[in-house]
Amino acid sequence: MKKILRLVLLSLLFNWYSTIDLAATSNQIDVVKIENFIINPITANFIIKAIDTAEKNQAPCLIIQLDTPGGLLESTRDVVKKILNSDIPIITYVSPSGSHAASAGVFITYASHIAAMAPSTTIGSAHPIEIGLKSPFSKKEENTKQDDQDILTNKITNDLLAWIEGIARQRQRNVEWVKRAITESVSLTATEAVEQKIVNFLAKDINELLNKIDGKSVETISGPKTISIKGAFLNYVNLTERDKILNTIANPNISYILMLLGIIGLIFEFSTPGIGFSGIAGIICILLALYSFQILSVNYAGLALVAVAFILFVAEALTPGFGLLALGGIISFILGSLMLFKSSFPFLRVSLSIIIAAVITTAAITIFFVAKAIKIHRSKIKTGKEGLIGETAIALNDFDKKGKVFCHGEIWTAYNTRNDTIKKDQEVKIIKVDGLKLWVEKVEFEK
């Protein structure tokens, strides 16, 4: 009986502690920090997981502390969709001072239940081309490609206008301004954003934000919710080290450099015998670059031009010329690098300074490696038994067919390839090597 009572008491204590833990968890407010990150599949997944966790814990709300230059359209749609269908209030806070919510940041801010900005922050510039738009018309003929691209852009723009208008009306935000942000890429300061009903209020820091949202009632997907921060504590959520690394790789400049390092590594590997570090490192760099290309908006015509450039560099090393192939490779390399990523935003393109440095360095290294490898393959073998062919030896005795010769500090059995007599101390030339046997002829018979 006593054992049963103990078990019951332990069960009650366990349930009590569980209730306390749940209560503490429900008072936790997660602050998701997007600090100058591009909205791409990595950061989008990070935000979506944070919302899922907050919903599971029935948190009072979730705060997205936003500072972004923009991002990819599909990733932005995923985040906005998650916010619109959230069971808990989502607050977007453009902070700290000096931050901006551009491009994708505008859509995330508009979709949030409550939006706030810190002083000296900005919002705006949401044209769809700046959000990593991919065009299926990259293989069109040159004379029609621009017209087709304009048609595509207009279709996407009209779709975004309809999409954001619905969001703006649902959240009771300024409809006309956000349309101009998409069509004209206009921007506003934090004060102007409040005046024009783009965001709800200003907040100089996170504490002021919490005071202003306390008691606010918002409409979530599951019904009206009132935000209560009484007894709540903040939990800052940052990208994991893994996500930070993947997000760094997704940078156009980094992916571009990884691609070049991978190609150079493979060229060096193929130009030298055996399997070494350069080949393994080259394959890893290529795979990482391909992962990045999968995330970013890659122009395959630009990628093809970079490949052609390497072919021309190899051809330059293979054939003696006046550098015309190398010049063509450099031009192809520069054009391909400029075309590699389709965006007019600097953060979604390769830096021009990196392109110039990469072209010069890569061209020089590729031509040098290939030329060196060709020279080595064409040069006479100087080591091992094969290295004996063509060398001279000294006869140790007179012989017609078989005798002894001295070469490289060793005595060898030698066979005369001519129908003559080789005299002692006479120089002979090695014609063939088979094991420890040499086939020789007198030097005077060499043609």
- Please list the active-site residues: 103, 145
Q: How far is CA 276 from CA 260, 272, 283, 332, in A?
A: 18, 9, 11, 30
In angstroms, the CA 264 to CA 424 distance is 55
Q: Which residues pair with 90 in a beta bridge?
A: 62
- The answer to whether 153 and 238 are in contact (CB under 8 A) is no
In angstroms, the CA 230 to CA 26 distance is 11
What is the bridge-based pairing of β-strands 437-442 and 402-407?
A: unpaired
Q: Please give the backbone phi and psi of residue 191, each rounded to the nearest 5 degrees, phi first.
A: -60, -45
Query: Reduced to 3 DSSP states, what percent helix, strand and coil does the chain have, rounded to the nearest 5?
Result: 55, 20, 30
Which residue has tokens 């902070």?
A: 95
- The answer to whether 32 and 235 are in contact (CB under 8 A) is no
- Cβ-in-10-Å burial (0-12, 13-18, 19+) of 222 comes to exposed
In angstroms, the CA 299 to CA 312 distance is 21
- The answer to whether 325 and 315 are in contact (CB under 8 A) is yes
> Which H helix or E strand runs over 416?
strand 410-416
